[in-house]
Structure 1
Amino acid sequence: MGLSEEELDRLADVVRLQPTKNAELQEAWGMESGSEVHSYLEGHLTDYYFRDDDSLIRATSEAADLVDVEPGVESDAEAEPGGVPDTIRVPELQAQVFEVVAGPEERSQSVVSVLNDLRETFGVDPDVDDVRRALRSLERKNVVEVVYRTVPTFRLAVERDAVTVEVAE
């Protein structure tokens, strides 16, 4: 039995956003809770995803072939696990965050500082929690690092031009 149109769309989201968490899919799918996301994955897509050693959600290679979309992270075939990806496909807010967050040689920024730079650069006003989630998602993709000071702060883990950022539709 094949997957429904909704299941295929959601599977495409898993492929595009990987590695991801319940909260990121919850936001993408407009669900009420991470538990609802987990139930959906187990009930509808159980054969097409898995959780890695860090409990992040990843699509199987069969899933990527089935939906014919590119995975969210593309690395060199020779790259080590945890290596820097060549290309990331992310939602628009994450692409904007990548553009404004401090570079690898600059002083790291707080979430609020990144939010202020987003407002100034793009004229957007996202919720501070959305900015925090965007930074953490970019951290999971190994392109942003956390520097712990009084509060967690962030900066790029790579040179900005070392990674191609594509906005996921």
Structure 2
Amino acid sequence: MTLSEEAHSRLADVVELQPTKNSELQDRWGMDSGSDVHSYLTGQLADYTFRDDNSLIRATSEAADLVDVEPGVEPGEDGDGVGTVRVTALQADVIEVLPGPDERSKSVVAVLQALREHTDRDPEVDEVRSALQRLRRQEAVEVEYRSVPTFRLAVPREDLTVEIKD
């Protein structure tokens, strides 16, 4: 199947953002709804994308070879857990201020306060929440539910390679 230039570009987005969801692709592609994204995926990219057990959108290995883009997540050297994540600068800063896997997890607001205290960032709470959820989908961050959801790194900081993409 030959892909149009637009389809090739959008497939590269899926590879880069995976695991991802409709709303992220909707924002990236400037579409009006998640339904539009679903229709595009099933109509134009059905041979190259699939939904995993958590209903997140992923690209096939053939797709990654076709577009020659690094996937958003690469497994660690032992094949168990995350080794490399490709993230935005804000997400990289979130990783820096999050507690490690053996430490007490922090709420979204506590992460926001840590960002404001330890970086020159002053993001909105929704930006921090979105960054944490993206890192969670990449399996770099885990959530613990207490009175509110709280977050910490899923792997030791030294076992995680962070590459910033812009």
Length-normalised TM-score, structure 2: 0.88
2:149 to 124, 135, 152: 152
Change beyond 3 A, Cα 1:77–1:142: same
Q: Are the counterparts in 1 of residues 76 and 84 from structure 2 also a CA contact under 8 Å? A: no
Residue 131 of structure 1, CA deviation:
1.6
Residue 77 of structure 1, CA deviation:
7.1
1:88 aligns to what SS in structure 2? strand
Change beyond 3 A, Cα 1:120–1:161: same
Residue 78 of structure 1, CA deviation:
5.4
Q: Are the counterparts in 2 of residues 48 and 62 from structure 1 also a CA contact under 8 Å? A: yes
Aligned-pair Cα RMSD in Å: 1.9
| Residue identity in the other structure for 1:69 | V
1:86 aligns to what SS in structure 2? strand
**Structure 2 equivalent of residue 63 of structure 1:** 63
1:106 aligns to what SS in structure 2? coil
1:41 aligns to what SS in structure 2? helix
The whole-number CA distance in structure 1 between the counterparts of 2:155 and 2:119 is 22
The whole-number CA distance in structure 1 between the counterparts of 2:162 and 2:46 is 29
**Structure 2 equivalent of residue 48 of structure 1:** 48
Residue 67 of structure 1, CA deviation:
0.6
**Structure 1 equivalent of residue 117 of structure 2:** 120
Change beyond 3 A, Cα 1:111–1:21: same
Give % identity. 65
Question: Which consecutive unaligned segments of at least 5 residues does structure 2 have?
Answer: none
Q: Are the counterparts in 2 of residues 16 and 168 from structure 1 also a CA contact under 8 Å? A: no
Q: Are the counterparts in 2 of residues 19 and 57 from structure 1 also a CA contact under 8 Å? A: yes
The whole-number CA distance in structure 2 between the counterparts of 1:114 and 1:29 is 29
Residue 108 of structure 1, CA deviation:
1.0
2:43 aligns to what SS in structure 1? helix
Q: Are the counterparts in 1 of residues 94 and 132 from structure 2 also a CA contact under 8 Å? A: yes
Q: Are the counterparts in 1 of residues 82 and 155 from structure 2 also a CA contact under 8 Å? A: no
2:14 aligns to what SS in structure 1? helix
The whole-number CA distance in structure 2 between the counterparts of 1:40 and 1:99 is 36
| Residue identity in the other structure for 2:115 | L
**Structure 1 equivalent of residue 6 of structure 2:** 6
Length-normalised TM-score, structure 1: 0.87
Q: Are the counterparts in 1 of residues 12 and 67 from structure 2 also a CA contact under 8 Å? A: yes
Q: Is 1:141 paired with 2:138?
A: yes
**Structure 1 equivalent of residue 86 of structure 2:** 89
Moved over 6 A (4+): none
| Residue identity in the other structure for 2:156 | E
| Residue identity in the other structure for 1:29 | W
Describe the superposition over 1:108-147 as per-residue Cα deviations: whole angstroms up to 9, x where unpaired. Answer: 1111111222233332233322321221221222221111
